[in-house]
Structure 1
């Protein structure tokens, strides 16, 4: 479902991949596409003049023109570097916020992300102590360690 905030070009590309088996049937593709639109985009679609678009290519161009301003701008690495775990917040809440931000950053900054996650935890946090004593080398290892500490936190 296109929610008017996700990457528009990526979304259309993904839709085309899903419909690849029907690539010869342009009419079907044009009829199916609107069913994947969220409220804002379906409103735009509903307001199109009848017979104003003659092909799926023309349709996606009009769609891109309308929604290109809604596409998410990738976050900068600085956004991740400035994050800290707020007092009174759970590790789960912080990790979800951190992971969302990490996924919005373009590029491969895994080493930086691992380091900044550790130093953004309070110095007395058990996970920070664990990551200092036994550092992790990959995001997968970091996520596994975080999951372990989230379970402990949830059991308390």
Structure 2
């Protein structure tokens, strides 16, 4: 288990800790003492500065951790966040698709229409943009198949470049 330094969402760390300590069937006091061993840096400093006997139970400790480190809570992302993902000039279509897919994973309950709209919105002019503009996809499976086709075309074209064959990737 990774140590918690206070710079990330405390809910993730608490969830991991609870899962592991559950297997040990530990008492409330043991959970409180064991939790300290999962802290480092500012989180450990905070824990060490708690007033003695100020924690009544493990649930109380959890509340204190969440209160103290709540500023680090992951920000909820929504479909409009996809509109900020753009295919950058000089970057490959594959790079764009990887970044776009990663952005999609960060959004809960994302509708297929929103994914397709965000994808099209972020595309630069090019072969895939022209293809998708002519025949708008209706399913994610269709988008994936078409994207893979254009990624392969892009990579094959790059392999044919003289500089690439000479060992110079640029």
TM-score between the two structures when normalised by the length of structure 2: 0.65
Q: Aligned-residue CA RMSD in angstroms?
A: 3.3
Gaps of 5+ in 2: 159-170
User: Structure 1 148/10 Cα, relative in aligned 2: closer, same or farther at 3 Å?
Assistant: farther
Task: Tell me the residue number matched to 2:49.
Answer: 47
Alignment of 1:13-32 (within 5 A): 13-32=15-34
Hey, what's the Cα distance between the residues in 1 that align with 2:153 and 2:43? 43
Q: Whose radius of gyration is greater, 1 or 2?
A: 2
Query: 1:45-69 CA deviation, whole Å, 9 max, x = no partner?
Result: 3433444324211211110110112
**In 1, are the aligned partners of 2:104 and 2:110 still within 8 Å (CA)?**
no
User: How many corresponding residue pairs?
Assistant: 153
How do 1:1-156 residues align onto structure 2 when only pairs under 5 Å count? 1=2, 2=4, 4-6=7-9, 8-37=10-39, 39-124=41-126, 126-129=127-130, 131=132, 133=135, 135=137, 137-138=139-140, 142=143, 146=147, 149-150=150-151, 153=154, 156=158
The 1:50/1:151 distance shift into structure 2, 3 A limit, reads: farther
Kept after mapping to 2: 8 A contact 1:23/1:29 = no
> 1:72 deviation in Å?
1.8
- Mapped to 2, the partners of 1:144 and 1:34 lie a distance apart of 49
TM-score (norm 1): 0.69
Change in 2 beyond 3 A, CA 1:87/1:31:
same
Q: Which runs of 5+ in 1 are unaligned?
A: none
Is residue 93–residue 154 contact of structure 2 (8 Å, CA) maintained in 1? yes
